Structure 1
């Protein structure tokens, strides 16, 4: 006799399903806890909230940040080193230029001192010649020999040439005062051209003196 109950009908329609009685979904695990699907779901959220996983993630990020900072520090150090080297080179160049200018200043200063000394000698020799020519009382005085006068003239000429040679090495400019230009015109009307030519500059200065 066939069973006419609904459960029997369902069993006949789905013969492969288990006929055992019990709940439709097994929520128990072999350990007696929640079922497999529920356990996996809970474990997924557990991984997100796991302090060890978060700590590992933070360590990875910290390592990346430290690596980036190290690269940035190396680049900054390289730039600082390059800038320091450039500053050192500029400082050396400035020091060299300063030393050269100092040497040139000392040389020009020495040349001017020598020129002033020669001017003094030339003025003294000129005054001596004037004294010999104009101030000598020939009456009752010892006559100055021609040789002594020629010697004084030669000394004066030498001093003038030396002074002109030293002054010709210094920087010259066209004089602005009328008296100097007039005296140069007496030497040569082409003195403006001769003053800028090294071969004639010292002769022009000597003639002016």
Structure 2
């Protein structure tokens, strides 16, 4: 009888042990799946962080100025040696409390470190045109100034002069100016 009980106890413990091993294998597989999911999530968060870091760098100010309730921020200056062009990207923001009727760039000029002055009428208030209607408060808008140059081998713009019209509720207000000094350019 003792032998039967002993054999029964051994058989029962082997069965319980087999179930426990199967359960442990299942738990290990669940943990591996969870780790793989966490690894994917970590990679996604890393990608988002890189995106946000680049976004912050895009609009990092090179120079700033304020005129008549309008704030200007130069964010990028890129030259292209092949096309002999220089593009200045800027943000402008209505810092007054009321919606302004419109904003449009009229002309600009730069003076390089050698004293050469270059004029342009290619002053865009958006990526589509020279004029923007209804400039709302505290919303930055992106504009571009494009210059065609004879030579583009200067790293510093000594002066950027931007002329624009910015109309509030009143009509007939003349052109206004904002000036930036000592801007570094990025030549390609």
Same fold by TM-score, threshold 0.5 exceeded?
no
- Report the TM-score, using the length of structure 2 for normalisation: 0.41
Q: Which has the larger radius of gyration?
A: 1
Q: Which has the higher contact order (CA 8 A, sep 6+)?
A: 2
More strand by share: 2
